Structure 1
Amino acid sequence: MKFRLYLAVLMSGIMSLLMSGWITFINVGITSNFLTLWAAAWCLAWPVAGLVAFTFGPSAQKLSAWLAKKS
């Protein structure tokens, strides 16, 4: 359980950081307040991403194992 929690926190943190940065860049470009907007977007995205990763992680892992076995 501890491993699953750490994995969900780390993966969701990395993914939400990169995706919020990319989407913020697409929406506003590089402006003087880009980092502030990015940080705000990341703070909103990370908790949701963490919950999704923790909730659906086991199902995604099973599906990935099944797909790997099929190919």
Structure 2
Amino acid sequence: MTPFVPKRFEHVAFGLLLSGMMSFLVSGLSTIIARGVDSGLPMVWLAAWLPSWAVAFPAVLVVAPFVRRILRRIVRES
């Protein structure tokens, strides 16, 4: 695949992919725990995942700089 995201948007693309994957996994697990596995699971999971991602994506973009600052203080050079 040919790269297509400009370097200046790398942090946004990272946040989009990370939040999408994490919210997909967490909403799926939560849906299965709350409801169990049945034939309607995929649609219920999707209905839970999309709003979760809509919250997770901006949250990652806001929280990531704070996490980076914390890590700069607690991680030592090798």
TM-score for both structures, normalised by structure 1: 0.90
Larger Rg: 2
Among 52, 58, 77, which residue is 1:51 paired with? 58
Among 5, 25, 48, which residue is 2:12 paired with? 5
Distance of 2:25 and 2:72 partners within structure 1: 26
Higher relative contact order (CA 8 A, sep 6+): 1
Among all aligned residue pairs of Structure 1 and Structure 2, give the percentage whose two residues are the same amino acid.
29
Distance of 2:71 and 2:32 partners within structure 1: 31
Which secondary structure state, in structure 1, belongs to the residue aligned with residue 38 of structure 2?
A: coil
**Structure 1: where are the runs of 5+ without partners?**
none
Distance of 1:64 and 1:25 partners within structure 2: 33
Aligned-residue RMSD, C-alpha: 1.0
**Equivalences for residues 1-71 of structure 1 within 5 A:** 1-69=8-76
